[in-house]
Amino acid sequence: MAASLRETTFANGVEDVLSALDADGGVVVHEFLSPDLLDRLRADMQRAASGREFGSASANDQIRNFWGDKTMRFTRLATRSDAFFDVLTHEGFLAVADNLLLPNCGSYWMNTGQMMILAPGQPAQALHRDGENWSRVLSPHGFEVTISCMFALEDFTTANGATHVVPGSHRWDDYSRQARPSEITQAVMPAGSGMIYTGRVIHGGGANTTDAWRWGMHLSFVLGWLAPEEALPLAAPWDAVRAQPQRVQQLLGWRSTTIGGGNAHLWSVDYEDVPDGLGLD
């Protein structure tokens, strides 16, 4: 039987999403972004992408290959799009993150918000697990350290690079083994959908064999006692988030994260919550 991902919507309840993640490690959620939010995101990200180069400036060959010479990536989405805050505070996605991450932390961070735009001719990305960023706590029989979503801002097709996924690979006993072709599927989905996936499932960007760009946006969360991929307060300065709710400020690194019973902080200033320690209003 060919590999496949379950498809659902948040209208079916968060438990349906969690059930699919438990079984497969990934799930396609349709109608994730409302048409209005999708339009605003597209417009913001098209402006942000204007004039940017493809590929990475890194001198490291492995980083450049993983990044993709014909892939445009950029972060700092909270400073580039007001619409991004509506994605960051999506009740369904936060409920998924709460269920998977809060059993092992007092609070969690945004790991990164990142545009991933594949130009025509971009080869498929190497398959990987996002949890490999924190390899010392990544375990086949352990807990989730990160949860992600790849949003389709345009239709994701087999031809334009829809994400490759290996359903069930989060449950493999041997994380060193390679996926067989028959175990790999693609997250084909219409614009406005999102593929939520765990940090333990194997995945990777597909090849874009069309003559059009593939517009995708990644958003992920990570346990609050681990370092996130994006340097959050540097990427979203206080002036950009001062008017946002405290939950948003915490996700973007402008609030401390609690440990234990909440009587101590990580990421503090003078042992105070970040705004208090810095005297910010």
pLDDT value of residue 148: 98
pLDDT at 109 over 80: yes
What is the C-alpha to C-alpha distance for residues 45 and 191, in angstroms, rounded to an integer? Answer: 14
Average pLDDT of span 73-100: 98
pLDDT tens column, 243-272: 999 999 999 999 998 776 656 689 999 989
Record the pTM. Answer: 0.96
Average pLDDT of span 80-88: 98
What the chain holds in terms of domains, given with CATH numbers, is 7-230 (2.60.120.620), 232-281 (no CATH)
Residues 6 or more apart whose CB falls under 8 angstroms from that of 107 comprise 224, 250, 257, 258
pLDDT at 155 over 80: yes
What is the C-alpha to C-alpha distance for residues 41 and 195, in angstroms, rounded to an integer? Answer: 17
pLDDT tens column, 189-248: 999 999 999 999 999 999 999 999 999 999 999 999 999 999 999 999 999 999 999 999
- Provide the mean pLDDT of the chain: 95
